[in-house]
Amino acid sequence: MGSRTRFAPSPTGFMHIGNLRTAIFEYLVAKHDGGEFILRIEDTDQNRKVEGAIDFIYNTLNLCDMKIDEGPNNEGEYGPYIQSERLDLYKKYAEELVEKGVAYYCFCTEETLSLMREIADKKHKPFMYDGRCSHLSKEEIEEKLKNGEKYVIRQKMPKEGVSVVHDVVYGDVRVENSVLEDQILLKSDGYPTYNFANVIDDHLMHVTHVIRGNEYLSQTPKYNLLYEAFGWDAPTYIHVPMVLGSDGNKLSKRNGDASFMDLYNEGYLPSAIVNYLVLLGWSPKENKEVFTIDELIKDFDTSRISKSPATYDIKKLQWFNHKYINNLSDEDYLKFVRPFLRLDVSDKTPEWVDRLLLIYKDHLSYGKEINDLVGIFFNDEINISKENAEFLQSDENIPLVIKTYKEELESLSDWTVENIAEVINKVKEKTGVKGKLLYMPIRIKISGIEHGPELPDEIYLIGKEKVLKRLS
């Protein structure tokens, strides 16, 4: 049997890119050896649940070409795949741990816990529950349960010695047991905590590899102690480095960082996003950057996952997206870019619009950028920067080039790209000017900028009347 991995997001809205990067790693680990990729919804925090979030998750994974083998919308034999539908299971296993003596009922009120936090703050120490309820007698516990007192079930942690976690990326990680708090397994509302539900579900769903952010590495001894208490084998752990923003902080939906859908709606291709994100924390053996999803599945090697944090760089993502846009067929490119064009083209023919979009195929970094690039074709006036204005006055031949080009265009009866290109050659012959001093003055005068698509195409689409006006 191949690897079984699970992506277990909370249903709190659109998927942010740090979370998506983890999903990509989980998918590639499973598919590299022909295994299965599971979607499980971690909705233990009901207060943060967003209606329709499960559909957002499915839509994102489908757009990224990551097929879910089992999940809420395509259940396998280990469902249900939503934690809130598995509450009886968690209660059963939590009570089993109580019977084994590795967990206990805790009846401490919120007032009691708040007081303990205040004391810890005054001592400038991190709060850690002191385990007082673990010393209650059997009779005391029965009496409190009989009286209907609210309780949680806590895991009883060893307070001496060291726990060792083996991780594929970080090797053997040692954690002092004295820093492990008696974590809550089952909350007073009957919902499990994230840590407890993960262990139960991963075991029952036969998950072989757990891939998650390295911020969970120090918590992993708690998972292993639970596996040990049940007599279950722990999965293989693969903790991946965090994805940081340009400010050095971890990318987070709560911090307002970009979600996948934000990028998608801006005009970033899912395949480009996946390609870029997989290289945040993983490096291929060969010196290569652009991969199809099938190539990633074939080449993905967990031994090449980095230990160091990766920095999300929108400019690098734009570079990838430009590559993917450039590789589209003209037909697919037009289907992709047309919806992003927001300028009024009601007075233009469909052929004119398509030609305009196509000349920018080699220049486009993301879909919405098309509106900034093509503004010169819709504005009556253009702005020439101080630097470009100075260039126009930098050589005595420049006025001659512009004057000659205007005269040649005025006499042009058939307005075609080919004829416009030939006019440029005539100006070259008449003035003896070539290269930068020939092309750049003309481009600046008609567009205001020094770089752009092929000059004859640009001139043709701007139109004869507007070009002559700008050259005057």
Scanning the structure block, which residue is given the tokens 């299971």?
89
Pairing between β-strand 36-39 and β-strand 184-186 as defined by DSSP bridges: unpaired
Q: Determine which helix (DSSP H) or strand (DSSP E) holds 225, and give its type and residue range.
A: helix 220-230
DSSP letters along 249-295, please? SBP-TTTTPPBHHHHHHHT--HHHHHHHHHTSSB--SSS-----HHH
DSSP state of 379: -
Judge contact between 37 and 68, C-beta under 8 A.
Answer: yes
Judge contact between 73 and 65, C-beta under 8 A.
Answer: no
Give Dmax over CA atoms of the chain in angstroms.
108
Judge contact between 281 and 305, C-beta under 8 A.
Answer: yes
- Give CA angle at 72 (67, 73), nearest 5°: 65
| Measured distance CA(41)–CA(55) in Å, rounded | 11
* C-alpha dihedral sign at 293, 294, 299, 302: positive
Q: Within a 10 A sphere around the Cβ of 169, how many other Cβ atoms?
A: 20
| Measured distance CA(333)–CA(359) in Å, rounded | 11
The three-state secondary structure class of 311 is strand
Give residue 360's identity as a one-letter amino acid code. Answer: Y
Q: Locate all alpha helices (DSSP H) within 340-416, ordered by sequence.
A: 350-359, 370-373, 386-392, 398-410
CA dihedral of 165, 168, 169, 174, whole degrees rounded to 10: 10
Judge contact between 341 and 378, C-beta under 8 A.
Answer: no
| Strand partners for 155 | 103
Please choose, from the candidates 263, 246, 253, the residue with its C-alpha nearest in 3D space to the C-alpha of residue 368: 263
Q: Which tokens belong to 275?
A: 């390609």
Burial status of residue 31 (CB atoms within 10 A of its CB: 0-12, 13-18, 19 or more): buried
436 contacts: CB under 8 Å, gap ≥ 6: none
Residues carrying an active site annotation: 253
